[in-house]
A and B are shown apart, each in its own frame.
Chain A
């Protein structure tokens, strides 16, 4: 006899019993002990078929190969740059992975210097969480202008939305360029007042990320805010500058 004790999209706390009996399988962030399945994290329960999994509502960013992140240069060595990744671990970007040109040691500053931020991709993560980066692929570049806001990395999927619906909505309404790093850094570039509005919107999504119908709510929020600000001209200028 198996028995499921939570509903889909219920908020569960660590150690909460999710199901009894062997008919269900423990998915992400859950574990089985004896006949029961328990939660390992604070999050939303998800039931798909026989598998029970938990989508975290909070928690640190876990670096994964292939993730695009935004990091800040915190140090330079003989052969590369050390990045802060908003985790407990810093990452290395080798000079030869930073540019397709040949960069001499003395010219490293022309590429990036300490304090700069860049959109980079993770190429390797070891068991000790040593991280290697690359900046050679399209869409990876140094961050120039605009502002960076930090959100919880677990909310990144909600900022982007299904097939990018949320982020496209915000881009379209405000005319800002937005780049979201998987580590929770969001780079916003546009006119100053629109940048401020986007950072407010991003914070709002972070706060309400567990609720349904978020895109509609954001649409209403942005429409009410954008009304009194003349922005139709501004986006064109931003596009023109680049």
Chain B
């Protein structure tokens, strides 16, 4: 049996409906919400601020530090114990590495920019939603960035290369693999690439090409959210 029709009726290169909003957390220096289908990520950026513990400070350049957390009843399975876990630490690390290449903190030695991402509702693709939200939040906080980062998961379900897998697809009873990808917008450099499951070399190449094309849609949504952050009063459009 071949996977021709997707479980939620999408086309194979169709993303889940996205929604992004910047400036959702007033107390943060920058913040954003990014929603893809039933996955929602809230990102809050604080800083640049003094870094503690002090031995982590870098006197040459500011440090970017990410935090990731799924909320206790955010998934469809068991309650998730709040706080850090092996998985949360790993995702926080890959998020930092995905965002660091575009963030320019050379003007802030010894300081830290903290990015906190929490997911109140999840349905696969959380690290991608987290990275997309964090990129908007960093831009909203006015942190110098060379480029935007957009992220999406691609993968293979029973031999069919698809974009933006939902949880039911990841749990599909066949050979499945999911490949989260994050890319810079202008230079098209990959800053995150992980893989879970099994995928052939040809399918992987196909999946990455698919990611490259669908990421423009994620970028368009991020751009829209940032521009809508500064609305003009009615009758003032130039």
B123 within 8 A of A: no
A15 touches which of B51, B109, B146, B229 (Cβ 8 Å): B146
Q: Are B48 and A88 interface neighbours, CB within 8 A?
A: yes
- Chain B residues 60 to 116 lying within 8 A of chain A, measured CB to CB, are 62, 102, 104, 107-112
A15 touching B147, Cβ below 8 Å: yes
- Please state if A13 and B236 are interface contacts (CB–CB under 8 Å): no
By the criterion of a CB under 8 Å from any partner CB, how many residues of chain A are at the interface? 35
The B interface, classified by DSSP as helix, strand, loop or mixed, is loop
Segment of B34-42, B136-144, B157-165, B194-202 engaged in the interface with chain A? B136-144
Q: Is the interface of A mostly helix, strand, loop or mixed?
A: loop
Interfacial chain B residues near A59, Cβ < 8 Å: 141-144
Complex Cα distance, B29 from A38, in Å, reads: 24
Cβ–Cβ contact B110 & A129, under 8 A: yes
* Given A128-B59, A212-B236: A42 in contact with B146 (beta carbons within 8 A): no
Is there an interface contact between A211 and B236, defined as CB atoms closer than 8 Å? yes
**Given A13-B227, A88-B50, A211:B146 Cβ within 8 A:** no
**In the complex, B233 has a CB within 8 A of chain A:** yes
Q: List 21 A-B contacts (CB under 8 A).
A: A11-B230, A14-B147, A15-B102, A15-B148, A29-B144, A31-B146, A38-B146, A40-B146, A41-B145, A42-B142, A57-B142, A57-B230, A58-B29, A58-B141, A59-B141, A88-B49, A88-B110, A88-B112, A90-B50, A128-B109, A213-B236
Which 3 A-B pairs give the minimum distances between C-beta atoms?
Answer: A59-B142, A58-B142, A88-B111
List A residues at the B interface (Cβ < 8 Å).
7, 9, 11, 13-17, 29, 31, 33, 38, 40-43, 56-60, 62, 87-90, 127-129, 154, 208, 210-213
Report which B residues bind A (CB closer than 8 A): 29-30, 47-51, 59, 62, 102, 104, 107-112, 139-148, 184-186, 222-223, 226-227, 229-230, 232-233, 236, 238
